[in-house]
Amino acid sequence: MKPNQSNQRTNLITGSWMLPSLMLVVVLMGPNYLGAAQEVNKDLAQETLMAQKAATPPVAQEAITPLITKDLAGVPGEEALTYTVDFPPGFSSPVHRHNAQVSVYVLQGSVVMQVKGQQELTLLPGQTFYEGPNDIHIVSRNASSTNPAKFLVFLIHKKGTPLVIPAE
């Protein structure tokens, strides 16, 4: 490959001479050429977009699986929810609160949890964690960058209110 040959395709696409040259070609070759040139540009743009998507790994998200939701007997307006949360490797949730009583039971992997004013804890399968209604959850992450983590959540809150509230 000759020097600068690798940049030839880029220069053809981004060169400052492209638009005036294309206009001259349209005048000399007729309007049918413009359609063909637009189609080539469209194909190049599509190739670039596909390459960019392939080079950008998707951001892993937590997966929440609801198990049961029930109104609390004898406590009007309150409900209990049970669900599982799967944290992919390296996942960390933003600072938040639940405005609820939350109990966590680790099923798989290890998670790091901390509420404001308390110590950070690394939990293993079989271990538990509690958040009160006024606690701000400042650390909630998978302790591993290579293995997933899964935990069971039991939450009691006012029916119809958000389960997660962003906090600082």
The better pLDDT of the pair 127, 35 is held by 127
Task: Say if residue 70's pLDDT is above 50.
Answer: yes
Q: CA-to-CA distance for 152 and 55, rounded, in angstroms?
A: 34
The domain that contains 84 carries what CATH number? Answer: 2.60.120.10
- What pLDDT does residue 168 have? 81
Could you tell me if residue 50 is left (phi over 0), alpha (psi between -120 and 50 degrees) or otherwise beta? alpha
Closest CA to 61 of 89, 29, 98: 89
User: Looking at the structure, do residues 50 and 82 belong to the same domain, yes or no?
Assistant: no
Q: Are residues 36 and 71 in the same domain?
A: no
pLDDT above 90 covers what percent of the chain? Answer: 61
Same domain? For 133 and 162 the reply is yes
Say whether both 94 and 28 belong to one domain: no
- Residue 165: strand pairing partners: 97
Q: What is the DSSP string of 23-64?
A: HHHHHHH-HHHHHHHHHHHHHHHHHHHHHHHHHSPPPP--EE
Is the confidence at residue 35, as pLDDT, over 60?
no
Are 46 and 90 part of one and the same domain? no
Same domain, 81 and 101: yes
Q: How far apart are CA 125 and CA 151, in angstroms?
A: 8
Query: To which H or E segment does residue 83 belong?
Result: strand 78-87
pLDDT computed for residue 17 by the predictor: 42
Confidence band, pLDDT 50/70/90 cuts, at residue 101: very high
The total number of structural domains in the chain stands at 2
Domain co-membership, 9 together with 82: no
> Predicted confidence band at 10 (pLDDT cuts at 50, 70, 90)?
very low
In a shared domain, residues 47 and 75: no
* 149 and 96 together in one domain: yes
Residue 112's domain comprises 63-166
Does residue 135 sit in the same domain as residue 92? yes
